[in-house]
Structure formats: C-alpha cells, structure tokens
Amino acid sequence: MRETLGRDAAPTAGVIDSQSVKADAVVATDSRGFDGGKLINGRKRHVLVDTLGLLLDVRVTAAYTGDRTAAHVLHGQVRHAPPDGTPLGRQRLHRRLRRPLPGHARAGPADRETQ
C-alpha cells in the first residue's frame, strides 16, 4: 500500500495513541488496572500508526500502563523515534509546527498594526 502511494515500503515515523476501556467482571485481575487520569478500571489499547494512518501495531495492557512505557515496546516498528522514549513523533511534530514554512516570513511585533 505504501509503495503504491510513492512511499518507502518500511515506515520511518509513527504516532502512538491510547484508549482506556472498562474491563468486564470476567476479565482476570492480573490483566487490568486503574487509569488514574481517566478514572477507569480496565485495559488500555496502544495503537501505532504510520504517517499515512496505516495500522502498524496494537498492544493491550493494563490501564495503568503509560504511553511512554508502551512506546518502548512499539519502538521497533519505526526507524526514527525521539531518543528519550516519549510517544513517537509528538516532539518532532510540535517543533515542525513552530517553524515557519520555507518562503514564508514570520510576523513579528513590529509587523503588526498598533490599535
């Protein structure tokens, strides 16, 4: 699929997201946990997609597992990742959004009209 869109066969960057879901009473207690941020007792799905949105990997963990921990597990799926193990691509994306586009000037305080 990637090659038909003119991309490399192997992804070079990815994005991780997670979702906490409640676990049913029949789910074993050793495979679920409490997500303090969402106040959910259950499991968490960690999803890794490439820059095209194509699914690369899915892992299910106890709800208390953070994105940073899951990023270490999913890290082998992509070539480029921040060295500190934060969720893949998030820091690079924020840095790129702050940069001006090539050929575009950034407006400074002197360029704005005073009212």
For the chain, how far is it from start to end, CA to CA, in angstroms?
53
DSSP-derived letter for residue 56 is E
Q: Does position 39 have pLDDT exceeding 80, yes or no?
A: yes
* 41-50 per-position pLDDT tens digit: 899 888 888 8
Least confident segment among 18-22, 66-70, 100-104? 100-104
User: Given the structure tokens 């005073």, which residue do they identify?
Assistant: 114
d(CA 88, CA 72): 10
pLDDT category at 55 given cuts 50, 70, 90 is confident
